[in-house]
Amino acid sequence: MTKERPVENTSASSAIVFNGRVQKVGDRAILRFPDKTSAQLPSRGQVAVKAVLNGHAFATVVEPDGMRGHWLPVENSLIDLLALDANDPVTLEVEPTKDWPEPELPDDFRAALLEAPDIAEEWRTITSMARWEWVRWINAT
């Protein structure tokens, strides 16, 4: 769901670091945040972060788990790049940011925007955070 792009390494002063294991949930790979780690995030909802997973930096959004915790989606491209398997130990460093990355649009939604330029223009006027909420809702339906 996240377009990977290089970001600068996070600063040690505001970074949250933990060790965990990649888990498979259905066809997704995720990394669950420990409760104490999740509690350090500024929101119980979605949080934009600069992340470093096993040395690879990227921008993404961590998701709420509905139980006051969070999890990180681990994209297939990142799994391939880092040669990860389910239950592999990893180290994650995150730093909350106000700069939301652009969400990856589902193919059918991207096509619909191409066919409706007036709606596509409206889409461009909303914040990246709002676009994440829309994409999250679309993917849930």
Q: What are phi and psi of 37, to 5 degrees?
A: -70, -45
Same domain, 76 and 135: no
Q: What pTM did the predictor assign? A: 0.78
**What residues make up the domain containing 35?**
16-96
Same domain, 29 and 80: yes
Same domain, 73 and 129: no
* Residue 3 maps to a domain: no
109: Cβ contacts below 8 Å, ≥ 6 apart: 135, 138
Instruction: List, for residues 15-42, the tens digit of each pLDDT value.
Output: 999 999 999 988 889 999 999 999 999 9
- Whether the per-residue pLDDT at 52 is higher than 90: the answer is yes
Q: What is the CATH number of the domain that holds 69?
A: 2.40.30.100
Same domain, 132 and 67: no
Q: What is the pLDDT at residue 11?
A: 46
The answer to whether 48 and 101 have CB atoms below 8 angstroms apart is: yes
User: Hey, which residues does 61 pair with through a beta bridge?
Assistant: 48
Secondary structure of residue 39 in the 3-state scheme: coil
Same domain, 22 and 81: yes
- Whether the per-residue pLDDT at 4 is higher than 80: the answer is no
Rounded CA-CA distance 34/17 in Å is: 11
- Whether the per-residue pLDDT at 9 is higher than 70: the answer is no
Instruction: List, for residues 69-118, the tens digit of each pLDDT value.
Output: 999 999 889 999 999 988 899 999 999 999 999 988 999 999 999 999 99
Q: What is the pLDDT at residue 121?
A: 93
* Residue 29 maps to a domain: yes
The answer to whether 2 and 104 have CB atoms below 8 angstroms apart is: yes
CA 112-60-20 angle, to 5 degrees, is: 130
* Residue 2 maps to a domain: no
